[in-house]
Structure 1
Amino acid sequence: MNNSADIKIANDGWQYENSLKSPLVLDPPKDMEQLLQRLNAIVGRSVNELAVLAGVYMPEQSRQSRGYSGQIIELFLGADASNQSLPDFVDLGIELKTIPVSSDFTARETTFISAASINPERYIPFERTSLYSKVRHMLFVILFAPKGLPPAERRILGYFFFQPDKDQLAIMEQDYNEFNELIFSGRAHEINGTMGNILQMRPKALDSLTYTPVRDTEGNTAWTTPRGYYFRQAFTTSLLQSLSASQGLQPDDLAHLKELQHILMPSEPS
């Protein structure tokens, strides 16, 4: 590892910290009915509309707006977990995630779930992890965000709730245990995005100069980038496909998304 003074050390269990400074402050939803009311109030709105209503600055560049859409959605829904290792809606036990989709209604990226401990003192069973508490009941907000669309023009298409079934939880637990087997054998640095069936463990840090300590195969301290648990892109796309089937989404509906892309990006091919 480079010994440059620019290198930052992350504590195990780090959290990505970023928040909007808005005069709009909503209490957490008291029940599902209130959460649904808030969801229905933002469906169809663009990120820029929400920014104006919230009185916050809307970044113009995609690089500056990383995570912005998710934060502003959290603001309008009243998510209250902040950076704690708890579901976003603590009292309801529901984790909030945003899925950016292309005009073919497929997920554009992997979905971050939680930070991963890669230097644990002891093994923690899957059912006792923050990862498990987050995946048990999830709210996905679907964001229309085809490649090239300015962040301000991204638009909320809808939402759905997801609770994994017994088989899906078993696969997630298997993925979790396989990652931990590598961690406890001093091979955390070998974990990469090709591993895992539903879950991935991938680098997750403010920048590429952030490192965290791990044990190597000899029990000595080594250094690697912090990691996080993610849903694989193919898995979130499969959830969207299941939603399409259950809601009776027809080819004409996808054509409307193509048309919306053409309206929002007239100089770009649809």
Structure 2
Amino acid sequence: MSELLPLVTPPQSEAQLLAQAQQLAGLTLGELATRAGLPTPLNLKRDKGWIGVLLERWLGASAGSKPEQDFAALGVELKTIPVDSRGRPLETTFVCVAPLTGNSGVSWETSHVRHKLNRVLWVPVEGEREIPLAERRVGAPLLWSPSEEEERQLRMDWEELMDLIVLGQVERITARHGEVLQLRPKAANSKALTEAIGAHGELILTLPRGFYLKKNFTAALLARHFLLG
């Protein structure tokens, strides 16, 4: 599904991207899907990435399933975020898969997390389960880069989590580690194992892990920019 061609030409500037995203605000997912010729699933249980794919098509994203930013030419990543009626995030936000081996000499400056979060187009979407998927509305977009304080928080958490990975402690990491960034298993099923470093420096098999932004971080970000109560 993520290899579908965009409905619009890729934006040539951040201003053009933001203007295109602003045109979607207030429309429902059902309206956008119908115009795009895409079927709307009943729910997201088996189609977790459906909203992102739909908006990528309407915004001219080029990355598809490639590991680069969604708007690589602009250096902008697209993040849809489900929110409640008060504009607060309903879940954590996936950033990228975590590397569990080959991490000697890695630094925050060259990390995939920093690359993905350097410039983000946030698009809030109504996410409360009582609202049928087709009737959920798209919210006003926000172009964001981390402030010095936000980057400091992210860096501290990333360094703590990467230290644990390198020291063979990946199995000890829980979702409670990190103030704003967490590491969690990311796999379609428990058989999808990957290599990691064990406590004695040996290779072990474990579930793939992903970096996620905690809700307190994205809630503060949205509240500050949209002046929510």
* Normalised-by-shorter TM-score class: over 0.9
Q: 1:148 aligns with which of 130, 151, 176?
A: 130
Shift of 1:137: 1.2
2: CA distance, partners of 1:233 / 1:36: 24
1: CA distance, partners of 2:187 / 2:53: 17
User: Are 1:201 and 2:201 an aligned pair?
Assistant: no
Alignment of 1:127-206 (within 5 A): 127-206=109-188
Greater mean alpha carbon deviation, residues 69-78 or residues 25-34: 25-34
Which residue does the alignment assign to 2:8? Answer: 26
| Inter-CA distance 169–206: structure 2 relative to 1 (3 Å threshold) | same
- Deviations for 1:84-125, whole angstroms, at most 9, x for unmatched residues? 332211111111101110112210000111111012252311
- Matched residue SS, 1:228: strand
Q: TM-score if structure 1 supplies the norm length? A: 0.79
Runs of at least 5 residues in structure 1 that lack an aligned partner in the other structure: 1-17, 251-270
Greater mean alpha carbon deviation, residues 35-44 or residues 192-201: 35-44
2: CA distance, partners of 1:120 / 1:225: 17
Shift of 1:69: 0.8
- Deviations for 1:177-210, whole angstroms, at most 9, x for unmatched residues? 1111111111111111101111111111223331
- Matched residue SS, 1:157: coil
2: CA distance, partners of 1:68 / 1:130: 23
Shift of 1:129: 1.5
1: CA distance, partners of 2:189 / 2:29: 25
- Matched residue SS, 2:193: strand
| Inter-CA distance 202–181: structure 2 relative to 1 (3 Å threshold) | same
- Deviations for 1:191-243, whole angstroms, at most 9, x for unmatched residues? 11101111111111223331111121122221211111111011111112112
- Deviations for 1:236-263, whole angstroms, at most 9, x for unmatched residues? 1111211232xxx57xxxxxxxxxxxxx
Runs of at least 5 residues in structure 2 that lack an aligned partner in the other structure: none
Contact 1:110-1:232 at 8 Å conserved across structures: yes
- Deviations for 1:68-96, whole angstroms, at most 9, x for unmatched residues? 11110111101112233322111111111
Larger radius of gyration: 1
Q: 2:197 aligns with which of 205, 215, 223?
A: 215
- Matched residue SS, 2:140: strand
- Alpha-carbon RMSD: 1.8
Shift of 1:20: 5.9
Structure 1 counterpart of 2:9, which letter? D
1: CA distance, partners of 2:8 / 2:177: 39
Q: 2:216 aligns with which of 234, 259, 262?
A: 234
Which residue does the alignment assign to 1:224? Answer: 206
Structure 1 counterpart of 2:112, which letter? S
2: CA distance, partners of 1:182 / 1:121: 11
Same amino acid, percent of matched pairs: 32
Alignment of 1:1-270 (within 5 A): 19=2, 21=4, 25-245=7-227
2: CA distance, partners of 1:244 / 1:38: 19
2: CA distance, partners of 1:197 / 1:142: 22
1: CA distance, partners of 2:103 / 2:144: 32
Contact 1:86-1:130 at 8 Å conserved across structures: no
